[in-house]
Amino acid sequence: MYEPGSTFKVVTMSGIIEDSVYKQDDFIYAENGNYKIYNVNITDSHPLGNITILEAMQQSSNIAFAKMAMKLGASAMYKYVRNFGFGNVTGVDLPGEANGNFKKVEDWNRLTLPFIAHGYSIAVTPIQLITAYAAAINGGKLIKPHLVKKIMNDEGYEIEKYESTPIRQIISENTSNVIRKMLRSVVEEGTGTKAKIEGVNCGGKTGTSQKLIDGKYSKEYYISSFAGFYPVDNPNLLCLIVIDSPMGQYYGGQVAAPIFSKVGKRIFINHNQEKLVEENVVYHTSDKELVFPNLIGKEKNDAIKIARSFDTPVEFVGNGILVVSQIYDETENSLTLKLGNLEQHQALTEVPNVIGLSLREAINQLLLAQLRYNVEGTGYVIRQSIEGGGNVPVNSVCKLICSKEL
């Protein structure tokens, strides 16, 4: 359990928008970075004056959120925090889940409300927080999380599937749409700019909280975090990065957001590679001839799935979990795959010649060849760092130099 800090602001803002306490373009005074309430100071990382509610989210103003929560009221705030699942286990299919620590509203003191608003005076678990984020961006439904999506047998057939289990509707779909757009603005022009992923619309929220050590908040040790998702309009990936006691820089936007960017980019590339194969978007050596995709390096079940999408019978030779070589008979439309283990596998792939292609077309070609990429410039590819036609290890990085004019 930990105090989440500013990643918790998505819960506060959801209640604010749902109850129409403020609108996005309403202004609130952020006290130039220092706000004294009941003899306790609430501070921001940088001074802000009159800002909109949207800017309060972008710039993660603790002061603005404390003020908004006090206008929302303790009873309403308590309701939303509870409805988002805090203080209870999520029911994820793992043993030993903690409840977190969230007091009943009658046990709150006068500082509890303004401090819960920006993620203090409450202890959460990462699975609670990411489940709450899912509800905030999926249209407002709290969903019971599962560890496993489905179970396949050795032949690649699905034998059991775990369906999503809606628990309750917390906020309206309209409020959820607003939250997604606000979180996108955090990444585009707020504290989360280092979470950006090229070619993907991302949203998210940074968080930095002081650790409570021996009853006092430390000025040396922090919890740094970033909760992010993509694509914004129809989210399918949600990722929470939490770093305990980072050394040196400690703001969530500095240390956690870049990790989200790297993890999210890798998943995006892998997902699109699979998607392109499943849609039968493969190399054409001519207008009439299809070349079967390279399955070397794939696990056995994945190879079966791809072969099925081409209606191609598969014969396996040897033992192991990975495809180490393949023979495809185009005339017979038959496929022989040799299996081996990781230590036997040194997968190579042929580098496509992408010079003259648009950047999007070139990236698709590299993804299909199981290659990673770096891009310099925009428009059309005029140079590539690895010459087309050669064989290189899978996941090699090919740099694309682009220009708007060929």
Which residues partner with 200 through β-bridges? 197
At 231 the three-state DSSP class reads coil
- Distances 59 to 29, 95, 190, 366, 372 between C-alpha atoms, Å: 13, 38, 5, 37, 33
Separation CA 30–CA 50 (nearest Å): 6
356 CB burial (10 A radius; 0-12, 13-18, 19+): exposed
Catalytically annotated residues: 6
Reference 337, options 307, 318, 316; nearest CA is 316
Whether omega before 231 lies within 30 degrees of 0, making that bond cis, reads yes
Reference 350, options 405, 403, 296; nearest CA is 296
Which residues partner with 393 through β-bridges? 348
Is 264:200 a contact under the CB 8 Å cutoff? yes
How are beta strands 391-393 and 237-244 bridged, if at all? Answer: unpaired
Separation CA 280–CA 18 (nearest Å): 44
Is 186:203 a contact under the CB 8 Å cutoff? yes
Separation CA 90–CA 50 (nearest Å): 38
Instruction: Write out the E strands in 140-236.
Output: 141-144, 150-152, 158-161, 165-169, 203-213, 216-230
Instruction: Write out the E strands in 60-154.
Output: 141-144, 150-152
Cβ atoms within 10 Å of 400's Cβ, excluding its own = 22
Separation CA 5–CA 60 (nearest Å): 10
- In the block, tokens 């021996």 appear at 214
